[in-house]
Structure 1
Amino acid sequence: MTAPHSHLAPRPRPHRRGPAWQLVSAYGLLVLTALLFLVFSLTLPHTFPTRGTVDSILFSQSIPAVLALAAMVPVVTGSFDLSLGYGLGLAHVMVLRLIIHDGWPWPWACLVVIVGGAVVGAVNGVVVEFGRIDSFIATLGTGSMLYAVTGWVTGGGRIVPGPGGLPASFTDVYDSRLLALPLPAFYVLGLAAALWVVLERLPLGRCLYVIGSNPRAAELVGIPTRRYTVYAFTASGLIVGCAGVLLAAQQEIGNPSVGLDYLLPAFAGALLGSTAIKPGRPNALGTVVAVAVLAVGLAGIAQMGGDFWTTPLFYGGTLLLAVGLAGYSARRLRTGADATRDAPADRPQPPSSAPGGGTQGTAP
């Protein structure tokens, strides 16, 4: 009598989460934003749910949001650009130096600085990809060099406008309103929409995601990984240049060290954003949602009388949480999407009779 081949029984298929779980994963961070706003509104009914609070959030968080989108682009390819804060500081002091000290028309000064930001980003990409240096080390080194250039440009001091101040048309770049809302909010939405189109709808974006998930596989299918990664760093540097223009219009004073304060919020937003909308991978819309969560949380803490040290504590804890959640989402994406495909096929049952009429697997 033939014994059952229990070790050859079909393996159970991995359990896949239903649509409800997918909705929670994609939009949970957005729901959290609404819940935080509701909680702070109930706690601080006279100060938090006001037009002033909304305007303050939109004005104050526009530059961190733009910088978070800049940080997100290299993360898509699996790289990190730690020179963002240093580049932001150099960009904003260069705009003010060209306008105040050198007498340039502000549109030309802004254009030159934005192009310069793209050049710095391209250099970062070349150093990382063609120099074969880890992105952490490479961008930390170039960032330190940018900080040195910032100190040389400013002489270690601040750049202060003269008695006439800056041109009103320049400061309006940041201070103006559109449809009764702060104009910088529309910059963020426009930039996020453009990045969403590039990353989600164009072949370039799909190639960048492939490079980030598996560089070796990208090379095998013919994707020029080095060139595309340089593109990502270049785009990041260009966006940093734009953020520097906004920061100059906001601050109106060139401070050589101010850019460093934006580095941690940028990466917190970029990494936390990879857990929203498209869980498991960095994406533009998720980054905007993540910045909104951070903005609402910081505004509520500030109105509740939080001390100065609560802001770095909040950002540091959020960054740790973001890294953990991003890693978890990425692992779930790989196992959820590929589990069925990678599961071993059921092996066929061997014949119960051996050639020549003998039997196999008979019970002793």
Structure 2
Amino acid sequence: MQSLKSDALEPTRADLAALSTGQRISKLLPVYGLPILAVALIALFSALFPDSFPTLMNFSVLIDNKAVIALLALAVLCPMITGKIDLTIGYAIVLWHILAISLQVRFGLPWYLSAMIVVLLGTALGLVNGLLVEIAMIDSFIATLGMGTVLYALALWHTGGRQVVGELPDAFTAIDTLSVGPIPITAFYVLGVGILQWLVFEHTPAGRAMYAIGASPRAALLNGIPVRRTVILAFVASGTLTAITGVILAAKLQIGQASVGLDYLLPALVGVFLGSTTIKPGRVNVWGTIVAVIVLAVGISGIQQFGGDFYIEPLFNGATLLVSIAIAGYSQRRRRVVRPKTASVEASTVNAVIQPN
């Protein structure tokens, strides 16, 4: 999984100090190109559709619709930082949102107890995924794809292929329907998770250790980083956040059905890969991921207002995934002029990664 390795290419202050203004702009443009694109798209579609696009209602709908994708993207970001991938997010959210509803309407459990059970099951799933990858030594792509397929089968078995419907308490649906002024509460979920992850990944030894593992597991191990334990915890975090997102999706849809969920997998992966091309190019990162989801949301919304057909969204997501992976791969090939040839050199490189700024 070479494409998942992390080593940011953003210029340092020392690099920029010796450059002219034009050269600084050319250096910073790849770093902040995606946020600039997001602003440009908003301005473009606002000018083209002044009566429908730049409205509070439209932006509220965009935020609420894409919050689940953003949260799933942040979930898959956790193991991806360590060079692993978790494909169960697209399958697990199917089962989790169904269980969050069926535990209430079929088994009569209180909504908060149902939500707690789902989150605990998500944490357990993350642990199992981590053990499969690090202890059983199964490639993360294969392990999580296989586990995800099992979860999807369980969802089909549990529902019998039918919808799970019933009366849900207002306190449960309020998880999604609440708003702060015109801003949906789901926006604050994404912002809160993003800030927490940014603090952990960028400003703690544990976060720097995760990036070091993504850069070189062998060198990280030589530097005394507990690689297996760290990767397993990354999967646990991914599983937990996916389950929380499943509860939010259940409160949003208020119906459990196995036909939803898989549509969220590709956009979440697109968000992470596309996000690795900005803010910290060549490294998957929190704010790049969130900006990428915004670009996807604005782009798809604008195209649909042009009158795009129903197949535009998957077409747009698939094409963007291919482009973003190509750009990310190019960025990573520029990581070093000469790649380290020995473990000792790799170890010194990773040691520099894990040192605080």
TM tier, smaller: 0.7 to 0.9
1:87 corresponds in structure 2 to 92
Deviation, structure 1 residue 53: 1.2
Alignment CA distance shift 1:21-1:73 (3 Å): farther
Deviation, structure 1 residue 180: 2.9
1:267 corresponds in structure 2 to 269
* Residues 101-180 of structure 1 mapped to structure 2, 5 A cutoff: 101-161=106-166, 165-180=167-182
Between 167-176 and 328-337, report the one with greater CA deviation.
328-337
* Aligned match for 2:71, one of 66, 70, 74: 66
1:40 corresponds in structure 2 to 45
* Aligned match for 1:49, one of 47, 51, 54: 54
Deviation, structure 1 residue 112: 1.2
2:196 corresponds in structure 1 to 194
Deviation, structure 1 residue 22: 3.7
Q: Distance in 1 between matches of 2:274 and 2:296?
A: 10
Q: Distance in 2 between matches of 1:324 and 1:196?
A: 25
Q: Distance in 2 between matches of 1:197 and 1:331?
A: 28
Alignment CA distance shift 1:337-1:60 (3 Å): farther
Unpaired segments of 5 or more residues in structure 1? Answer: 1-15, 343-364
Q: Which amino acid aligns with 1:154?
A: T
Q: Distance in 2 between matches of 1:152 and 1:21?
A: 55
Q: Deviations over 1:98-122 (max 9, x none)?
A: 1111111111111111111111011
SS of equivalent residue, structure 2 residue 246: helix
After TM superposition, the score normalised by the length of structure 1 is 0.85
2:348 corresponds in structure 1 to none
Rg comparison, structure with higher value = 1
2:237 corresponds in structure 1 to 235
SS of equivalent residue, structure 1 residue 104: coil
2:90–2:263: 8 Å Cα contact kept in structure 1?
yes
Q: Distance in 1 between matches of 2:330 and 2:77?
A: 18
SS of equivalent residue, structure 1 residue 132: coil
Q: Distance in 2 between matches of 1:302 and 1:20?
A: 33
Deviation, structure 1 residue 74: 1.1
Deviation, structure 1 residue 337: 11
Deviation, structure 1 residue 27: 1.3
1:223 corresponds in structure 2 to 225
1:354 corresponds in structure 2 to none
1:29 corresponds in structure 2 to 34
Q: Distance in 2 between matches of 1:334 and 1:50?
A: 45
Q: Runs ≥4 in structure 1, deviation > 6 angstroms? A: none
Q: Deviations over 1:147-166 (max 9, x none)?
A: 111112212211011xxx21
Q: Distance in 1 between matches of 2:329 and 2:136?
A: 27
2:80–2:284: 8 Å Cα contact kept in structure 1?
yes
Alignment CA distance shift 1:321-1:213 (3 Å): same
SS of equivalent residue, structure 1 residue 258: coil
Deviation, structure 1 residue 278: 1.3
Q: Distance in 2 between matches of 1:178 and 1:283?
A: 27
Q: Distance in 2 between matches of 1:300 and 1:262?
A: 19
* Aligned match for 2:298, one of 287, 296, 299: 296
Deviation, structure 1 residue 288: 0.4
CA RMSD in angstroms, aligned pairs only: 1.9
After TM superposition, the score normalised by the length of structure 2 is 0.87
2:326 corresponds in structure 1 to 324
1:279–1:333: 8 Å Cα contact kept in structure 2?
no
Q: Deviations over 1:288-324 (max 9, x none)?
A: 0000000000110111111011111000001001111
2:56–2:182: 8 Å Cα contact kept in structure 1?
no
Q: Which amino acid aligns with 2:335?
A: L
Unpaired segments of 5 or more residues in structure 2? Answer: 1-17, 346-357
1:76–1:282: 8 Å Cα contact kept in structure 2?
yes
Deviation, structure 1 residue 336: 9.9
1:361 corresponds in structure 2 to none
Deviation, structure 1 residue 21: 3.4
Q: Distance in 2 between matches of 1:248 and 1:150?
A: 14
Q: Which amino acid aligns with 1:54?
A: F
SS of equivalent residue, structure 1 residue 61: helix
Q: Which amino acid aligns with 2:294?
A: A
2:60–2:182: 8 Å Cα contact kept in structure 1?
no
Q: Which amino acid aligns with 2:148?
A: G
Deviation, structure 1 residue 175: 0.7
Alignment CA distance shift 1:219-1:94 (3 Å): same
What percent identity do the matched residue pairs reach?
47
Q: How many residue pairs were aligned? A: 323
